Chains A and B, each alone.
Chain A
Amino acid sequence: MATPLRPSISPDTEFFWNGLRERLLFIQRCSSCGALRHPPRPMCPHCLSTEWDTIESAGRGTVHSFVMPQHPQFPFMDYPYIVALIDLAEGIRLVSNLIGIEPENAWIDMPVEVCFTEFDDGFVLHQFRPEER
C-alpha cells in the first residue's frame, strides 16, 4: 500500500485535515457573504471578512482533468495512479486521486464520489471513485 506524504498543517487549514479523520470533507465558507473557498485561507476575497465556518461537502462531483504521473517514480506511491482535479457539486475544485477504475476507463467530466482511505498509521485521505448510481 502507498504511504502518502503527509501534509503540513497550519491554523488556517487544520479543520480540513481534522475533518478527514471523521470521514468528513469540509469546505470553508465565509460567515459574512457565504462564499465557499478552497484551499483554505484566512480571508474571503469577495468581502474581506476573516470570519468563517465550514460546510460538509456531499462529496459528489465530476472530473475536470486527470493525469497519470509516471516519472520520477516515488517510493511512497503505487503505480499506476490517477491524480484528478475534481469539480465538487458545491462549486469548488480540489485535487485528489481517482481510485477504483483503470486509467483507460476514466474520462473527463465523469461523475465521481468521495471515499476515505485510511493508511497504515491512521492517516486518512479523501479520494474519489466512480459514482455509484
Chain B
Amino acid sequence: MSGLSGRAAIVGIGQTEFSKDSGRTELQLACEAVRAALADAGVTPADVDGLVTFSQDTTEEMELGRNLGFDEITMFSRITYGGGAAAATVQQAAMAITSGAAECVVVYRAFNERSGLRFGNFGGSLSTMPLWLSWYAPFGLLSPASWIAVHARRYMHEYGVTNADFGRIAVVDRHHASTNPNAWFYGRPITIDDHQASPWVVEPVVRLLDCCQESDGGVALVITSAERARDLPQPPAIITAAAQGATGDAEMMTSYYRDTVTGLPEIGLVGRQLWQQSGLSPADIDTAFLYDHFTPFVFVQLEELGFCGLGEAKEFATIERLSVGGELPINTSGGLLGEAYIHGMNGITEVVRQIRGTAVNQVNDVEHALVTAGTGVPTSGLILSRD
C-alpha cells in the first residue's frame, strides 16, 4: 500500500449531454459539467480550492472560476499527453489532498471534438507541422488511427490476430451502449458481421467500427479526503491506487523505435504501480474501463495489465467474458466507442457509478474497479473501491 492509497475519494461526478454538435462553447460545457459535479457532491463553489485539467483543455482555470464563483484556489495543475492525462488528473487531485495543498479539488475536461477541432483529421488541418510529425506526415501517416495501426499490424502478425478478433471489443462496447440512454449509440448494438462490413480506416487493422467516436461534451469530478467524503451525500469512490507511466524512447502515439512495437509499456508500468499500491491483483477487479480509442489497444491493455499473458488476448477477450454478466465486464457505459469520446473522463464517471451501484448496466457487487487513460502515449490509471 502506498501513501496515496485510501486517503482520497471521488465524491461528485457531473457531465453535459454527449453530442456531435453541442451548440455552445467549450467554456460553457466545462462550467455546466463542474456545476453538475458540485451539486452531485453536495459542496459549494466556495469549498473548491484545487483545479486540475488536461494541458490540451481550452478552458482557463481562472475563467472557469469566474463563472462558477470560485474564491481562493491553492493548487492548479495540468496534465500532458492528450487522453493519457485522464486518470492522472485524479492522481494529481489525490496527491494535493494527501499533501495538504488542497482540500477539495475539481477536475474538468470539456471540448467540441466533433463540431470543433477533430483529432481524426488533425494532421490534415495543420497550419504548421510539428517537428515530431515531420517523420510521418510526408508519408501520409497523419491520423491517430494510422499511428496505432502501425503498432497493431505487427501485433497481429506476431500473435496471429485478425481485425475480426478486435471486432469483439466493438461488439461488447456497442452492446453496453445500446442500453445506456446517455450513449450516442443507445439502442444500436452491432454484430461481428456489422463490424466486418464497416469500411477500412486503416487496412488491414482498423475499420470504422474499431474507432471511438468524435464527441462534444464535458465531464467533471469532485475529489476530497476519504474522511470528509464520509460526511457527503454520495457513497465515496475511494482512490485505492493512482499512477502515471511514461517509458523510454517514447513519442506521442508513434513509439516505433523500441525493440518491440507490439506492447504498451506505459500501461504495463501503470499497471505494476496500481497492483503494488493497492495490494490487489487482476482477479480482484470486478469491472474495468479500458481506454478504447481503437480496439486493438484494448487487447494489448488486457495483456499489459496482467488480465492475461502476452499474446493471449485473442483467446481471453471473448464477448461473454467482457460483457456485463461475464468475468471481467469492460466499458459498461458503452465506452469511448459506444457512449462518447470525452478523452477518457467518461470512463472515470462510469467506474464511479459502478462503485456507487447506480450504473445503467450495473455489475453485481462491485468492490474494486480499474480505469485506464489514453494508450500509445504516456498514460495513467486508477483503481477505485467501495468504502
Contact = CB atoms under 8 A, between A and B. Distances in A.
Interface in B85-121: 120-121
Interface stretch (A22-30, A48-56, A69-77): A69-77
A101 interface: no
Contact of B134 (A8, A64, A108): A8
Interface residues of A, number: 37
Given A67-B146, A68-B203, A95-B256, A13 B131 contact: yes
A94 B140 contact: no
B135 A74 contact: no
B202 A70 contact: yes
Contacts of A80: 203
Given A72-B124, A108-B154, A4 B257 contact: no
Contacts of B205: 67
B233 interface: no
B203 A8 contact: no
Nearest to B203: A68
Nearest to A37: B257
Contacts of A8: 128-131, 133-134
Contacts of A66: 150, 153
B199 interface: yes
A101 to B, nearest CB: 15
Contacts of B146: 67, 69, 83
B153 A67 contact: yes
Contacts of B261: 64-65, 85
Contact of A4 (B131, B140, B154): B140
Contacts of A72: 120-121, 124, 143
B238 to A, nearest CB: 39
Contacts of A83: 136, 139-141, 146, 150
B172 interface: no
B142 interface: yes
A58 interface: no
Nearest to A77: B140
Contact of A95 (B141, B157, B199, B203): B141
A81 interface: yes
A105 B199 CA distance: 21
Nearest to A81: B140
Given A8-B129, A85-B256, A69 B153 contact: no
A53 B355 CA distance: 57
A4 to B, nearest CB: 4
Contacts of A71: 145, 199-202, 208
B3 interface: no
18 contacts: A4-B138, A5-B138, A8-B131, A13-B131, A39-B132, A64-B261, A66-B153, A67-B202, A67-B204, A70-B202, A71-B145, A71-B202, A77-B140, A83-B136, A94-B135, A95-B135, A103-B203, A108-B157
Interface of B: 120-121, 123-124, 128-143, 145-146, 149-151, 153-154, 157, 199-205, 208, 248-249, 254, 256-257, 261
Interface of A: 2, 4-10, 13, 38-39, 45, 64-72, 74, 77, 80-81, 83, 85, 92-97, 103, 108, 125, 127
The 7 closest A-B CB pairs, nearest first, are A7-B134, A65-B154, A4-B138, A68-B203, A8-B129, A5-B137, A69-B146
